[in-house]
Structure 1
């Protein structure tokens, strides 16, 4: 019998994986170089930013991931290596070369990620020395250090481990991510790395990863800005020695559900750590005409600055929610829409059939005082639903981003 265990906050590296995280001096004090290594070549899939302005490591990885295999990922934080021209691409390649030399693996099996300030050349002497230290300190316990080293304005480490038993074999799937600001649907200013010892075909891995990314990372928003460096990567090295998972099987469904849960957990943690955020917002669209309509509406609401500021101000301004649905591109009849607000303090309907309804403003205020708020929009147009996650927009967001480089 198959079972799934989710350990939020845990970063237990699967069989055959080593990792490390060290301080190289790119940032002033905190860890800033991470290295992830699979002792054997792993099947790989990745999703990248849709921004036309792509950082050098993204350009490099987009080419390398085409063959569907990788063995190591090197990451630096504190510098995005974006908008750095040919020199930036050369630096990304040299980071990969350094890893390949130290670990004695094919250079094209090394993926590179960077995050931090845009438009500043990498301090390559520090980076390359840092990679040497990272390679020397690789260990089976290094997941937490790697997760710490990829952080920028994050206020807490984001990790999760899933354990699934398939046909008597224990499969481990571990993910860790960074992201706090510049978060917008269609990826975020985020890096996410999923490692698993599952044996799964390249095509099945690619399908599961890209579909679950669409349902998770692509349904979050902090501030409406899309990064140049967004990258999510999964490596599967087969060390669990389970029967190889293929599409269309029961085992694939189990793997898919676990992966979706891991990605959803990390996506929600990113939003909860939104720069300056005081509240977490889940938006559920129900009874929409299509799944596309539901997702469009949900995304539009979590990305609306007017909705975000109303949530911060604990103001049940349902008109802003309805307006965001209106410009979302979703197909719906405004005269049928109901809107509800919910938290631990209760639930209240604030809009009925697209218009005014009397509601208890005092109760609405109490509901919105909570740290986690759920907005439900009933389209009354079909049977499809969609969920997105976001946060409020506070005074502190401006403080953090007004002096980011200093």
Structure 2
């Protein structure tokens, strides 16, 4: 069933939207327009969907649910087929089954990658990365030969900030992985562990040669950048540059251009403060640290994001389209060199966890939480 989202907002609603428009540290950011009309089709309903990977041809997708299920979903009629062989996950809080990504040579290798949370000793846990083969055309599709190839280290207590997003380099040789600091703050600045980092790995999960800290040995050989908090988006743009999207504390969500060896500041600086109100020095007080392309205060609480191709909305070509949990819709950011400029917000009335682009330029979204819908957005 198709519905419409219209640009009819009351003056009060427009004022409320503009109150959330200013990017922290960038007072010149324009107030976003709101209420862009989309044609919206609901394709399927899932429970706590987290990630989505489109299969070749773009007519079906693999979708993970946080509690541990994987579905093969028809993007034409919404039919769902369970995928067997999913790993056992440590489910709770922000933890469970996470990202899913196709190997760059999936068409021939049938290899997919998954992230999930596993339990450790003494009430600890951590994210892991695994790979398996999958034949989506099989009568009863299932993962074959699932092998764990990477772990967060060390495992720690708590159930937050796993991050575990996957991105392949444009040449297909390397796997980049986000690893959150697990709400423990200081590990993000410590190069002896892989928490609070962006990692550059070979496709078998081993550290890639030429990483900036490989001379230190050990876990440091994995690290591409550090000083990150909770990175729920990791994407390459059309120019081959890597960007991350991460949650700040009470304020300070960030979009970052990720460069090798750079320190992104957490928990030394942020454009937000601690939840108990304790102040954190702002990013601009430390010009020696990497600065965000754009930050938000109040937060948008981002899910994932994409760089849009421009197929259906040519005027958005190259823009970052962000699935927003907190602001319940999409946030569109124009990239100007190494800076981001918020252009618009599109309220959808639900927390949006995931976004992908269909081959025709339509947008595929996953709502967050129980009963989260798979939506297809097209131009009105």
Common fold by TM > 0.5: no
TM-score, normalization: structure 2?
0.28
Larger-gyration structure (1/2): 1
Higher strand content, 1 or 2 = 2
Normalised to the residue count of structure 1, the TM-score between the two structures is 0.27
Larger helix proportion, structure 1 or 2? 1
Which protein, 1 or 2, shows the higher relative CO under an 8 Å CA cutoff with sep ≥ 6?
Answer: 1
